[in-house]
Homo-oligomer: A and B are copies of this chain.
């Protein structure tokens, strides 16, 4: 039996499922979660080879459930696998990151549109409150990119949930956000322009409050393509 302890940070309550961490019932699930966080945090470095027996030993389980975990990691694109030749941690290059941002742009744009359609008044109030919380966090925890970064994803996650579209939600939460996190953990953390980002979030929330689907989608798409442009320049600088 394995017990997960949920640490509630009173200054920043996160609604992300990563934290709630439903006490997983099967060895494969637990291995999946462990390896996933190892990859995202960079403890398993990009492009490094994954040997089944090694990892099985490391986690104290047999190769069966570990294989299942790897297959699931392959699905969410944290691992690439070639038959008979083994699997490696994904290596994110510039093109791949661009693809991720472009996919996010259209999916989250649609999510914002649907959120404007489906969110209840209570949902919207709660969303506004989250943004206020973010504002306070920015003031307090200057330079603490981690919290800011998670808070950022938190906003986007709420929109994705509010879309009430399982495909969109699963894609964003199951694959794209993970890779964004991974990307940040490695390339010197966060984009770090919290005020601008917060302001854009406020505009999106406002459009949702006014039930302006068109505008909500438009603003979200701009917000994300803008984020990509910044990431891109950072990557290009780094490349020299």
Please report A residues at the B interface, Cβ cutoff 8 Å: 25-26, 29, 64, 67-68, 71-72, 75, 83-84, 96, 99-100, 102-103, 105-107, 109-110, 114, 165-168, 171, 175-176
Contact = CB atoms under 8 A, between A and B. Distances in A.
A107 B107 CA distance: 7
Most chain B beta-carbon contacts within 10 A, residue among A25, A26, A109, A167: A167
Most chain B beta-carbon contacts within 10 A, residue among A68, A75, A103, A166: A103
A106 B99 contact: no
A68 B168 CA distance: 25
A63 to B, nearest CB: 10
Nearest to A169: B99
Most chain B beta-carbon contacts within 10 A, residue among A72, A106, A110, A168: A106
Contacts of A99: 165-168
A60 to B, nearest CB: 20
Contact of A68 (B71, B103, B175): B71
A166 B83 contact: no
Contacts of A103: 107, 110, 165, 167-168, 171
Contacts of A96: 166
Contact of A105 (B71, B84, B110, B176): B110
Contacts of A105: 110
Nearest to A168: B103
28 contacts: A25-B83, A25-B84, A26-B83, A26-B84, A29-B83, A64-B64, A67-B68, A68-B71, A71-B72, A75-B75, A96-B166, A99-B165, A99-B166, A99-B167, A102-B110, A102-B165, A102-B167, A102-B168, A103-B165, A103-B167, A103-B168, A103-B171, A105-B110, A106-B109, A106-B168, A107-B107, A167-B175, A171-B171
